Amino acid sequence: MKKIFTILIIITLAGSLFSYSLLERETGSYTGSLDPRSIAMGSASVAGGNRLLDSIINPGNLPLMQNKLGVQFYGGIITNFDDRSLPMYNSFDAYCGDATYVSNVHPFEQLAGGVYYKHKLSNFDIAASFIFHPYIDFTSDYLEEVRNNANSDLNSYPPIIAKNYIEGEGSIDAFSVVTAVKYKELATFGIRFSKLMGDANLKRRIIWSDYSFGKLDTLLTNTTNILERDFEAFQVQIGTVINIDPRLSVGLSITPKVEFDVNGTKDSVNVEDAVYTYFTSLDSLQNVIIVDSLTYAEYYAPLTFRAGLNYKPRNIMRTNFNLDIEFVQWSEINKLYDDAYNFYIGVEHCLKNKIPIRIGFNFQTNYCLNDHSGLVFADKVTMPAFTAGTGFTFLENFLFDIAVEYANRQYETLDLFMDSYYWGDDGAYEDLWENSYYIELNGGIQDRGWENPDTVKETFFNIQTSISFKW
């Protein structure tokens, strides 16, 4: 835990798209399935998806729409719960409560929508659609209050030394055109063309308090680091659904790797010249050597291949069983990453009143980069999720679907703002600290390393809804 008493608060700005946590503040959060019916079934929809937004996962799903013309609007709210705290003691070493130093509890919204048209021509059904949907989100809002080491008598907090901010905004959105064809009831084939474009602005600030300026007015300077990037790319996805028999269908979709054109600056330096991270290793003498490096101008989305099945058992009431397996070629994105498999499974069962009950589970893998004394390494972060939902028809042509998802993940991290900065070079800021004499005897304030990292346990609760209208 931190040696310096700190309070960290993550704040939400209403009406914006927010990344799941600060883990993705530079790389962004990928948006998965956007159809609540499929989300309730564990996001398993590569085969048997019968909503417009299922064509984002597999464009071969588009001709499975039952009506000639339709629209779908999607809205979701995601809340992340991540609280971490330190015990607080008074001058008599008596415990007087916990002080929260990370509070990442905030909702954010996602919006998407589209329209489709299907035309029957002899033995073929030809369908086309236009969809707007979020693809990657970069938004975050983080505040850290750094306090000195004065005793917390009477349950009061020590003075604030500085406030640190990480403020991000922006997203990459997709404008997609999907076209697909179905031959009789045998098979479908579809292709999705997407224009991916957006921007991301990440600001990192250290603002000294009035208390600090009153102590060291001439020595302190507020600092701001700004990363501004614009993204643009073109993405193609192909998919198919094959009906083995009336009760069993299999689906396949593939999305090749995407390389974005990136323009922007990192603290007034062109992103092509600003190094994002080094690939490093140890030589025979245990010295750190640079193997390769990335710049902020290099940004990719990995190749994904997804396969799955939809099975309809011989029940009196309609039942669907979906199972998807997704291969993600993370090794194309970063040499430190390994390829990974994601799993999705779900069931939909209709009751006597035709109200469906949907439950599901999925297991996804992501990566984050960490630096250990100049040696960069990758950590695998896995996230299991449990899902449930239902839906109903109203006013004849309207469909309402709702899904809830409960997910969690765990990973280790170091401080986003290192402690030694607030001690200054050779103790230049020692007057800010209550017992600076004893701190100096111990060699000054030391940064916390990987021998004592924070274990972050994040819990997500998502509510997803959509309204579809079909003619």
Q: Which residues contact 466 (CB under 8 A, 6 or more apart)?
A: 34, 35, 36, 37, 51, 53, 72, 73, 74, 75, 400, 401
Report the range of poorest mean pLDDT among 21-25, 323-327, 360-364, 459-463. Answer: 21-25
Residue 165: alpha-carbon gap to chain centroid: 20
Each residue's pLDDT tens digit, 329-368: 999 888 889 999 999 999 999 987 778 999 999 999 988 8
Q: For residue 386, is pLDDT > 90?
A: yes
Round to whole Å and give the CA distance between 319 and 331: 38
Average pLDDT for 160-186:
92
Of 104-108, 217-221, 282-286, 385-389, where does mean pLDDT reach its minimum?
A: 104-108
Q: Average pLDDT of 315-336?
A: 90
In the chain, where the domains are located: 6-470
**Does residue 13 carry a pLDDT above 60?**
no
Tokens 């996804």 label which residue? 364
Q: Can you list the alpha helix ranges (DSSP code H) found in 3-68?
A: 36-40
Dist. CA 178–CA 279, nearest whole Å: 38
Both tokens of 45, joined, read 């929809």
| Pick from 105-109, 266-270, 336-340: least confident | 105-109
How many other C-beta atoms are found inside a 10 Å radius of the C-beta of residue 121? Answer: 8
Q: Is 231 exposed, middle or buried (0-12, 13-18, 19+ CB in 10 A)?
A: buried
pLDDT category at 221 given cuts 50, 70, 90 is very high
Predicted confidence at residue 6, as pLDDT, reads 33
Nearest to 408 by CA among 433, 383, 372, 425: 383
Split at pLDDT 50, 70, 90, the class of 11 is very low
| Closest to 296 measured CA to CA, from 270, 322, 316 | 270
In contact, 431 and 216? CB cutoff 8 Å? yes
Q: Which two tokens stand for residue 190?
A: 């579809």
For residue range 352-361, list pLDDT tens digits in order: 777 899 999 9
- Contact call for residues 111 and 122 (beta carbons, < 8 A): no
Q: Which two tokens stand for residue 68?
A: 């000639």
Tokens of 1: 């835990």
How many other C-beta atoms can be found within 10 angstroms of the C-beta atom of residue 301? 21
Cα–Cα distances (Å) from 265 to 23, 197, 279, in that order, read 21, 17, 22
Supply 142's token pair: 């983080």
Domain 6-470 top-level CATH class: mainly beta
| pLDDT over 90, % of the chain | 50
